[in-house]
Amino acid sequence: MYKVLLVTSAMALSSLATNAWADGTLTGAAGGAVTGAVVGGPVGAAVGGVAGAVVGAAIDPPPREVVTYVEAQPAPPTPVVVEQPIVVGKPIPADVVVTPIPDNPKYAYTVVNDRHIIVEPRSHRVVQVLN
């Protein structure tokens, strides 16, 4: 009975992973839970789900066209300085103005601390930091 429950749970979580949100969090959680369940049973599923969510939340790099577009944009005349570290996967402050990428509305950019930053426009979550 335990094995049937385990396999059924793994199949259900795999189904969730297939239909997961685009940001990767649910996909990572489901994949981690399935892997954890196979390796460590129910406790492994819980631990694997949390670990998978953290890894799944890592953001795929933007397409090369987006990076090229952002690199070509000039820095604003008034520099934006943020005291907190700019880290991929973490949001920049909500008061920092971001500019949408015309050909790819999934991304926006800004220049913070003299570095071009590619972000998700709705969440302001950092996708990539350019030099």
Mean pLDDT for all residues in the chain: 75
Q: What 3-state class would DSSP assign to 59? A: coil
pLDDT band at residue 40 under the 50/70/90 scheme: low
pLDDT for res 36: 52
* pLDDT tens, position by position, 10-21: 444 444 444 444
**Sheet containing 126-129, strands listed edge to edge, beginning at the edge strand earlier in sequence:** 99-100, 108-112, 115-119, 126-129
Q: Identify whether residues 75 and 125 lie together within a single domain.
A: yes
Nearest to 6 by CA among 50, 31, 43, 37: 37
pLDDT for res 60: 85
Q: Identify whether residues 68 and 47 lie together within a single domain.
A: no
Pairwise pLDDT comparison (108 vs 13), residue with the higher score: 108
User: Which domain, by its residues, includes 113?
Assistant: 64-129
- The pTM score is 0.57
Q: Identify whether residues 68 and 35 lie together within a single domain.
A: no
Give the count of domains, the chain: 2
pLDDT for res 53: 54
Q: Identify whether residues 83 and 111 lie together within a single domain.
A: yes
Beta-bridge partner residues of 112? 115
Q: Identify whether residues 41 and 75 lie together within a single domain.
A: no
Q: Identify whether residues 21 and 73 lie together within a single domain.
A: no
Q: Identify whether residues 11 and 42 lie together within a single domain.
A: yes
* pLDDT tens, position by position, 41-99: 666 555 555 555 555 556 789 999 999 999 999 999 889 999 999 999 999 999 999 99
Is the pLDDT at 26 greater than 50, yes or no? no
- Cα separation of 30 and 14, whole Å? 6
Q: Pseudo-torsion of CA 115, 119, 121, 123, nearest 10°? A: -120
Q: Identify whether residues 117 and 94 lie together within a single domain.
A: yes
Contacts of residue 122, Cβ cutoff 8 Å, sequence gap at least 6: none
Q: HSE, CB side, 13 Å, CA atoms: give it for residue 58.
A: 7
Pair 63, 84: CB distance under 8 Å: no
Pairwise pLDDT comparison (51 vs 22), residue with the higher score: 51
